[in-house]
Amino acid sequence: MKQLVIIGDSMLDIDIEGSATRLSPEAPVPVIDTDRMMQRPGGAGLAALLAARTETGVVLVTGIADDDAGRQLHGLLTAAGVRVLGLPMCGTTVTKTRIRARGQSLLRLDGGDGFPVSRPLADEVTTALAGARAICVADYGGGVTALPEIRGVLSQLAPRIPVVWDPHPRGAPPVPGCALVTPNHQEAQHFCGDSRDGELLRKKWCAQLVCITRGEHGAWIYGADGDAEHVRVPQPAAAAGDVCGAGDRFAVAAATALGAGAGPVAAVVAAVADAARFVATGGAAAVSTPVPRAVLPTGARIEDPAGADPVALAERLRSDGRTVVATGGCFDLLHTGHIRLLRQARELGDALIVLVNSDASVRALKGDGRPVMRDVDRARVLAALACVDAVAIFDEPTPERLLEELRPDIWVKGGDYAPADLPEAEVVRRHGGEVVILPTVAGYSSSRLIAAASSGHGRNQRT
C-alpha cells in the first residue's frame, strides 16, 4: 500500500501545566506551581503523529538536529510508528514551551536555531515521495520548503500526486499545481492583504483549490470556477478548547481523503469535521506524553509523571479550589476497559491520581501467579498516560490508609459495585468526598486476558 508522506519543519513542543495563585515577590508576575510537564512533536512532527493515529506506514521527511531535544523528538515519532527520513541540519532543535495555568496559556518560550542544509536528497527520500499516495506539506517557516531540492521534486510530483500545502507567513510559497493550499484566515490576510481573497491566492499559487480555514466558523473553498463555497463545522463536533494543532489535523485529514480518492470539496468537508473533533477531544494536549523524570530510588512507592508526591499534589490542588479525582486497582495488564475508565475519571475533575495494588496485595486478592507485571512496572505504564497526573502504590488489600492522606474529592470505581460495597467509601465520605461508579466495558478483564494468553501459549507449545 502506498504511504502518506508528511514533509516540513519539525520541533519539540513542551507544555508546563500548573496553577497560579500568587505573585512573585521579585516582580508583579504570577508564580506557577507546576503540576505536570508534557511533550509532543510539533510542526510537521505533530502532523505526522496525528496521521499515524489513523494511518499505517506514515513517512516524515524533516530535519532533526543531533542533540538531546532532537533525540527526544525522534524517539517520540518512532514510538508512534512514524518512519523518519532526516534531512541534513545545522544548529540546535527548535523547542517551543508553553506555560499554562488552568488551561490558559500565560507565556511561550522559544529556543533552538536549527535550519536545514541544501544538499542532494537521499535516495530513500526521493523514493518515498515518488511512491506516496498523497503528500502533506507542513511549512513552519524553518526552511525545509525553501530547499531547492525539495521544491524541485514536489514540482515534478504535484501534477500526479495530491499535494496539500499548509503555508506559513515566513515560509516559501507553495509549488505550482498543489491540489489544495490551506492557509488560515490570518495567514490569508498576510498573503493577500485585507481582502483575504481566496481566488487571488489560488491564481497566485497556481493551485487547484485554496481553502481558508476559520476555526469554529468552518472554511471557505475557492476553486477554478471562481465561486466560493462555505463548509460549516458539524454542530455535534464543535466545542471550545485548545486549538493548538488544529491546522495540522485539518491538513492531514484533507491529504488522507485526497489520497483515498475523494474529491477536493469532499476532502475539505472531512477535514473540517476532523479538525473540530480534534479540538473537542482535547487538541494537542490529548496526544502529549509526560516528560520523563529521573528513575526513583529503589524502594520508593511513588510513580508520578510530574515528579511530585501525590498527597502533596492533592493538597496543593485543593488549596486552589480544584477537584481531585482518584481511582484504584490492580491494573495487571492494562486494557481498553481500564483506559476508558481512566479517561472518564479524569474528566470528572482537574487531576487524576491512581492508587495501584502492590505485588503482595495482588497476590492476596488474585492468588499465586499474579501479578503478571511488577507493581513498579504497572505504575510506570499508568504514569505514562496523558490522563493520569500521579500514581502511588499501596500494600494493603484496600487503599483506606492512603485515602486518609489523599482525601480525594471524588473516588471512582468501575463495574457493578454499589458504594456501600466498598470498604474505602466511608473514608472518602468522612473527608467530604463522593464515590462515583463508572460502567465497565463489556468483554474486557485482566484475569480473562491472562487466562486466554496462557491457554494460547500452552497450545502453541504442544503443536
Cell of 317: 490542588
Asked if residues 11 and 72 have their Cβ atoms less than 8 Å apart, the reply is no
- DSSP reduced 3-state for 223: coil
Q: Which of 217, 231, 216, 337 has the alpha carbon at shortest distance from 278?
A: 216
Rounded Cα–Cα distance for residues 390 and 431 (Å): 20
Q: Which three cell numbers stand for residue 302?
A: 511513588
Q: How far is CA 332 from CA 111, 289, 366, 369, 370, in A?
A: 41, 21, 10, 12, 8
Q: Which entry of 197, 242, 248, 274 is annotated as an active-site residue? A: 248
**DSSP 3-state helix, strand, coil percentages of the chain (rounded to 5)?**
40, 25, 35
How far is 352 from 345, CA to CA, in rounded Å?
A: 7
CB–CB of 273/234 below 8 Å?
A: yes
Question: Cα 11 from chain centroid?
Answer: 14
What's the CA gap between 321 and 335, in Å, rounded?
A: 33
Per-residue b or e along 83-121, where b marks 16 or more CB atoms closer than 10 Å to that residue's CB: bbbbbebeebbbbbbbbbbeeeeeeeeeebebbbeeeeb
Buried b (16+ CB within 10 A) or exposed e, 277-286: bbbeebbbbb
Q: Which residues lie across from 380 on neighbouring strands?
A: none
Closest CA relative to residue 426, chosen from 445, 441, 448, 404: 404
What is the spatial distance between Cα 300 and Cα 314, in angstroms, rounded to a whole number? Answer: 19
Q: Is 61 exposed, middle or buried (0-12, 13-18, 19+ CB in 10 A)?
A: buried
Cell of 159: 501534477
Name residues whose C-beta falls within 8 Å of residue 241's C-beta, 6 or more positions apart in sequence: 279, 280, 282, 283
Distance CA 279, CA 244 (A): 8
Would you mind telling me the total number of residues written for the chain in this entry? Answer: 463
d(CA 275, CA 354) in angstroms, rounded, equals 31
248 is known as an active-site residue: yes
Catalytic residue set: 248
